[in-house]
Structures are given as C-alpha cells and as structure tokens.
C-alpha cells in the first residue's frame, strides 16, 4: 500500500443543479477554480445558453406545485434547509477558510448568519400576505381584498461576494412566496453554492424550485433577458452596462427586472428585509358580494 504522502488527492468536479439533479453542462465546458493562494481547488461547469433554457423548463414545470403548497409547508421546507445547513456547518466553515480566503471568525459568522437567515425567511412564508395584503373599504355590498401572488419564474444573478450568505439572502425572499428560480453564480468561489445545492437536495425542496448554473454572468445576461418564459430577473450588484442590457432585453417580453445593490457585509441587518419579497409578487384584488 502506498504511504499517505504518496497519495494523490481526488478533486471534486462540480456539476450544475437542475430539476433536483446534478447534470453536466451540455456544452462540455468547465472552469478551473483556484483558492486565494492560486492553488487548484476543483473543476466547475461552465453553463451555456442551452443549460439556461433547460433550467427554465424545470422551473416552469415546478411552479404550479410549489406555489400551490400552503405557505406553512413552504416554511417547513425552508426550515429544513436550515437544519441541513446547520448539520454541515463545519464543512462550510472549512470551505470558506481553506478555499475562499476567509479568516475563521468571518467564516463562522457567514455560516451562522446563513442558517439564521434561512430560519428568518422561513418565518415569513405564512406572514407576508397578512403584512402586505389588505382589506379595502368599498361603497357597495362587497368584500374587497388585495393579496400578493408569485410572479412566476425568476432568474437571479447572485452576488459576486459572500458565496454562501449572499446566495441565501437573495434566493430565499424570491422563492418563499411561491416563485421558482434559476440562480446564476459567478464569483471567486462558486463551489460553495454547489455544495449548498447538496443541502437543498436533502431538504425536501421539490426539484426545479431552485436551479443553479455556474459560469460567466455576462454570457448569460442577454439570453436570460430575452427569454420569453422568464417572468422576472433580479440582478445583484449590476454595473451600468448590465442594467442597460437587461432593461433592453427584458422590455420585449415585458418582464419584471429588478436591480439590487450588493453589500460589503451581508451579515448586516440591512441585508435582510421582508421588503425583499415584494419585487416578485403581483398584487391581485378580488371582489366578493356580501351574502344576505
């Protein structure tokens, strides 16, 4: 038997996360991931336009089932995500320190905050309708009330920093109302999001609710903006060119395009808010006659 010093490490090849599974990119392309010291960490898929289209199909097929669940059940599933992430705290702390260049205190803070934020947003699934909906006074014998409903399929261009907490902080407020999503990850440590996909895969989350594509953000912008079966786009930390591209491409299909400034510190209170839910809900007003 070879000694430990002679052993070759088995490096992980990260795939995409789509429809509850881990397919390879159809393009066959990959990106090499390095740590902050320039040492090789892993290969990761370089998603293509075809991968984006496939992810949209998966998200669309999952939409009715996810939005049709009770708000309480969606909250249970988000809470289960927190439980699964809590069980892997040590793994994510090690990954952030050894591969993403965090010091240990910052890594612990990010993982702890990610777990807490999952719990926090889980608590909003069955409360945001009461907070943001309304019963409206009318001068007739009717009940008139306004309630939020999910927009549909939303593509999220996730933050370029805080590979775990930034992902959680932008994806969770979108899906908790019943939307499904395609999260595009392009940051120095995209493998963290793919490790989180394994948490999702073991958390009772239905396949297709969250789909994760790693690759080059700029390459997928035009395709996402022009895709007519994407109902909304959230771009985190966009530059002026990205704003213009998404605005122009999204106008043709009249999709909802929202821009969110990034945070230097995603652990801050400003990085979480129930108002982050509102960009991707539609407010519908209903009239019902009053029975005699």
Per-residue model confidence as pLDDT tens digits over 101-157:
999 999 999 999 999 999 999 999 999 988 887 777 777 777 777 788 999 999 999
Q: Which domains does the chain have, with CATH numbers?
A: 12-289 (3.40.605.10)
Burial 257-276 (b: 16+ CB within 10 A, else e): bbbbebbeebbeeebbebeb
Give the list of residues 6+ apart from residue 31 with CB closer than 8 angstroms, or none.
43, 44, 45, 46, 190, 214, 215
Instruction: Tell me the pLDDT band of 36, cut-offs 50, 70 and 90.
Output: confident
Which is more confident, 166 or 292?
166
Residue 118's pLDDT is: 97
Cα-Cα-Cα-Cα dihedral sign, residues 46, 186, 66, 199: positive
Instruction: Tell me the pLDDT band of 1, cut-offs 50, 70 and 90.
Output: low
Farthest CA pair distance, the chain: 87
Instruction: Tell me the pLDDT band of 165, cut-offs 50, 70 and 90.
Output: very high
What is the spatial distance between Cα 204 and Cα 146, in angstroms, rounded to a whole number? 31
pLDDT digits (tens, 9 = 90+) for 73-102: 999 999 999 999 999 999 999 999 999 999
Q: For residue 6, is pLDDT > 80?
A: no
What is the spatial distance between Cα 201 and Cα 192, in angstroms, rounded to a whole number? 14
Residue 5's pLDDT is: 67
What is the spatial distance between Cα 122 and Cα 191, in angstroms, rounded to a whole number? 25
Angstrom distances, CA of residue 199 to CA of 136, 144, 259: 42, 42, 27
Instruction: Tell me the pLDDT band of 71, cut-offs 50, 70 and 90.
Output: very high
What is the spatial distance between Cα 247 and Cα 236, in angstroms, rounded to a whole number? 14
Q: For residue 230, is pLDDT > 70?
A: yes
Mean model confidence pLDDT for the chain: 92
CB-CB contact of 66 with 74 (8 Å)? yes
Q: For residue 3, is pLDDT > 70?
A: no
Q: For residue 57, is pLDDT > 70?
A: yes
Length of the chain: 292
Q: For residue 174, is pLDDT > 80?
A: yes
pLDDT digits (tens, 9 = 90+) for 238-272: 999 999 999 999 988 889 999 999 899 999 989 99
Q: For residue 164, is pLDDT > 70?
A: yes
Residue with tokens 């079966």: 229
What's the mean pLDDT in 44-59? 97
pTM metric for this prediction: 0.92
Instruction: Tell me the pLDDT band of 2, cut-offs 50, 70 and 90.
Output: low
% of the chain with per-residue pLDDT over 70: 98
What is the spatial distance between Cα 42 and Cα 82, in angstroms, rounded to a whole number? 26
């Amino acid at each position: 038997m070879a000694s430990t010093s002679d052993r070759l490490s088995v490096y992980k090849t990260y795939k995409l996360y789509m429809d509850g599974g881990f397919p390879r990119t159809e393009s066959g392309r990959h990106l090499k991931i390095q740590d902050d010291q320039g040492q090789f960490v892993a290969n990761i898929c370089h998603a293509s336009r075809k991968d984006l289209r496939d992810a949209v199909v998966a998200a669309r097929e999952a939409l009715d089932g996810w939005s049709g669940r009770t708000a309480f059940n969606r909250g249970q599933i988000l809470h289960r995500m927190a439980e699964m992430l809590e069980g892997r705290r040590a793994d994510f702390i090690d990954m952030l320190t050894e591969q993403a260049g965090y010091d240990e205190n910052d890594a612990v803070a990010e993982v702890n905050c990610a777990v807490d934020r999952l719990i926090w947003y889980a608590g909003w699934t069955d409360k945001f309708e009461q907070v943001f909906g309304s019963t409206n006074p009318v001068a007739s014998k009717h009940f008139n009330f306004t309630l939020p409903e999910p927009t549909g399929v939303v593509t999220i261009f996730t933050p370029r920093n805080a590979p775990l907490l930034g992902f959680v902080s932008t994806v969770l407020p979108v899906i908790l109302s019943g939307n499904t999503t395609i999260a595009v990850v392009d940051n120095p440590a995209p493998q963290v999001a793919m490790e989180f996909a394994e948490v999702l895969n073991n958390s009772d989350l239905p396949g297709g609710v969250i789909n994760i594509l790693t690759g080059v953000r700029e390459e997928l912008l035009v395709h996402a903006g022009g895709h007519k079966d994407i109902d909304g786009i959230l771009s985190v930390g966009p530059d002026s060119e990205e704003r213009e591209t998404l605005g122009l491409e999204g106008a043709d299909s009249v999709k909802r395009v929202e821009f969110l400034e990034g945070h230097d510190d995603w652990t801050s209170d400003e990085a979480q808010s129930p108002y982050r839910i509102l960009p991707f809900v539609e407010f519908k007003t209903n009239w019902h006659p009053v029975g005699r």
